[in-house]
A and B are shown apart, each in its own frame.
Chain A
Amino acid sequence: MTAPTALVDVAGLVKHFPGERGLLGLGRPRARVRAVDGVSFTIARGRTLGLVGESGCGKSTAGRAILRLIEPDAGRVTVDGQDVLALGARELRALRRRMQIVFQDPYGSLNPRMTVRQTLAEPLAIHRVAAGAEADRRIGSLLEEVGLDPSFTGSYPHELSGGQRQRVGIARALSVEPQFLVLDEPVSALDVSVQAQVLNLLADLQQRRRLTFLFIAHDLAVVKHIADDVAVMYLGKIVERAPAATLYAAPRHPYTTSLLSAVPVPDPKAQRARIVLAGEVPSPANPPPGCPFHPRCPHPKKNERCRTEPPALRELAPGQLVACHFAEEPLRP
């Protein structure tokens, strides 16, 4: 349906990390970590897909594998019609102008010895976009676009607040005029009042530049305010994918329902029934057989089939895909 207009098309993406050996490199290597285990989605031009899940679910690895910041093991990634995984080094570099990433920690991702001007001039030089006075002019307008005063050009990262640093990170990603941005937890390190500023900025930039976003986050409330579609990951797999309005109003995977019910609501009168999941996420080096969620699943109908047969991602409602044998009878808190 959306396939012809999709800017980003990811199919069967796999990234396994080899298991480490013990101390001194002796002994048998441990089991492979199946960080991303067959992830598929599309993002239409100008839209935002929220990719959510808890630590270790593979969401960040998926984002990086799509940009080939780490090499995926299998799958197909198409960005604006180009087969990303088939490109050679030179072509990949050219494509990188069109796809960029913003990281969670603006302090760790900015070079502490480079001024804001140097940070923003570097990608312009590498991609031969602009130099000299033209670069300065572009840097000035980029700063203005992300809401930073031009007087910041000579500042170092340590002189900036967290919110200002994240604006520099966004300006750097935008400097080469990409079409597609992977935003990896871009507001998680920020205080609430500043987080809202940065989310509003991202929404503005998307409209103005018609950007396509893969928005990776653990905070479902943040994602609700920015995403058109949402994919929920658990142990390297997408367990539910749907238009945001559908997913938040009528989740069908018990994991999605549990996650949503666990988010604290800032209203003492509206404390909803909370589903507290037992146990913890199993190791992705040794995922459970059958449905990966079955050991923690609170669904009353959970049975032998869940323990043995991995559920396929099925379309239950228009655009809503769910990997659960009981998706027709969704859990309600």
Chain B
Amino acid sequence: MTEPLLRVRDLRTYFVTEHGSGTARAVDGVSFELFPGETLGIVGESGCGKTVTSLSILRLIPEPPGHIRPGSFIEFEGRNLLALAPRELRAVRGNQIAMIFQEPMTSLNPVFTVGDQIAEAAIVHQGLSRRAARARAIAMLQLVGIPDPGERVDHYPHQMSGGMRQRVMIAMALVCHPKLLIADEPTTALDVTIQAQIIELLDRLQAELGMAVMLITHDLGIVAGSADRVVVMYAGQVVEQAPTPELFGHPLHPYTEGLLASVPRLDTPPARAGGGGGKLHSIPGQVPAATAWPAGCRFHPRCPYAWDRCRQEEPPLLDAGGGEPGTHTVRCWLLTEPRRRTPRVS
């Protein structure tokens, strides 16, 4: 079996809250692996810890108020990123691991041309001359499908549309041919026709450049189309992890199950067929606060199957069987007592 490119073990990233009144356990014991060339989807709703996980990998967590707890472990190609000196870290960040963000306008510098911003990484990490870096920037703009790259290279971000800016972000991220691209909600701010263009572009570039992609999103549709494996997060933890067809075909965690059932879909009849009556499935209640995760299983207050054990004892990630160990893991006591999977009548 191939060695993982990235191995995250028991990652805990906590924040001291504004008034010093408590600690937000934003990421609270997250473990997963990412293999070379694969796309790993990380899904979850606001506040589940998916973005903090990705920022922790790049050590972009502002300290204070945040800190990565001792005992956390992030290994990239056999090196613990959490133990690297700032200088060594800079050689990895933006070079071997690159990241694109949701908001291309706020992540691009408004006072530099897009060409300068793309060229910067090539100059810093690969020692290219200005002239060579500019040529590389033009080639990158061409690669990400920007028309007239020779002209566009001298434009400023405000002269471009949202879709074009996201392409520039991707060009910046890929200029050093990273082995891992972390894409945090890369299409959330874009319209659906532009989103389709960007997803197609990312899929194509991944195939061409052979990099691994960590795709962070709340959109289960995007994950279904692009990811090889999926990690579902809830309340700072991984609650389910499986190959994509398995996760969508046989979701085992009640949260995954509820999330999939809540998505309004184009490929199924409307819930209100016939003009009324039917309803969309919804998960009752709200996501709890990171300063006060519920005791026991963190999903138990919203779970239709919960019983006493769920309220008292936190479940570990359990193996769902089928395939090699660790192929499909679920943080739920139902795996030990499957006959309880009958929802209570509400």
Contact = CB atoms under 8 A, between A and B. Distances in A.
Interface of A: 54-55, 161-164, 191-197, 199-200, 203, 207, 218-222, 224-226, 228, 244, 248, 258-260, 262-272, 274, 276-277, 280-281
Given A191-B287, A228-B275, A268-B225, A54 B192 contact: yes
A264 B262 contact: no
A192 B259 contact: yes
Give the residue among A194, A226, A259 with the most B Cβ atoms within 10 A. Answer: A194
A264 B264 contact: no
B224 A221 contact: no
Contact of B218 (A191, A220, A267): A191
B196 A276 contact: yes
B193 A262 contact: yes
A271 B222 CA distance: 10
B107 interface: no
B10 interface: no
Contacts of B123: none
Nearest to A47: B275
A242 to B, nearest CB: 14
Nearest to A57: B191
A46 to B, nearest CB: 9
B271 A225 contact: yes
B158 interface: no
A266 B263 contact: yes
Given A195-B262, A196-B264, A264 B193 contact: no
B282 A264 contact: no
A268 B266 contact: no
Interface string B235-263: 00000000011001100000000111011
13 contacts: A192-B259, A195-B264, A196-B262, A197-B282, A203-B279, A222-B264, A262-B193, A262-B196, A267-B224, A267-B267, A276-B196, A276-B200, A277-B193
Nearest to B191: A54
A195 B279 CA distance: 12
Contacts of B219: 264
B259 A193 contact: yes
B343 to A, nearest CB: 16
A163 B281 contact: no
Give the residue among B194, B262, B282, B287 with the most A Cβ atoms within 10 A. Answer: B282
Contacts of A196: 262, 264, 280-283
A258 B193 contact: yes
B195 A262 contact: yes
B38 to A, nearest CB: 14
A221 B194 contact: no
Given A200-B280, A224-B266, A248-B266, 14 more contacts: A191-B287, A192-B259, A194-B282, A199-B264, A203-B272, A218-B192, A224-B264, A260-B266, A264-B219, A266-B221, A268-B244, A276-B197, A277-B196, A280-B194
Interface in B186-225: 191-197, 199-200, 218-225
Give the residue among A162, A197, A226 with the most B Cβ atoms within 10 A. Answer: A197
B104 interface: no
A266 B265 contact: yes
Interface string B278-320: 0111111011000000000000000000000000000000000
Nearest to A207: B276
B192 A244 contact: no
B78 interface: no
B75 interface: no
Given A191-B287, A200-B280, A276-B200, A266 B224 contact: yes
B272 A268 contact: no
A318 B137 CA distance: 54
B185 interface: no
Contacts of B163: 280
B276 A203 contact: yes
A221 B263 contact: yes
A57 to B, nearest CB: 9
A267 B263 CA distance: 11
- For the complex of A and B, the 4 pairs showing the least CB-CB separation, nearest first, are A264-B221, A196-B282, A193-B283, A191-B45
B279 A267 contact: no
Contacts of A274: 196, 200
Interface string B160-172: 0101100000000
Nearest to A276: B196
Contacts of B282: 193-194, 196-197, 200
Contacts of B284: 197
A164 B225 CA distance: 32
Nearest to B223: A266
Nearest to B195: A262
B270 interface: yes
Contact of A225 (B191, B267, B280): B280
Nearest to B258: A193
A203 B282 CA distance: 13
Interface in B100-126: none
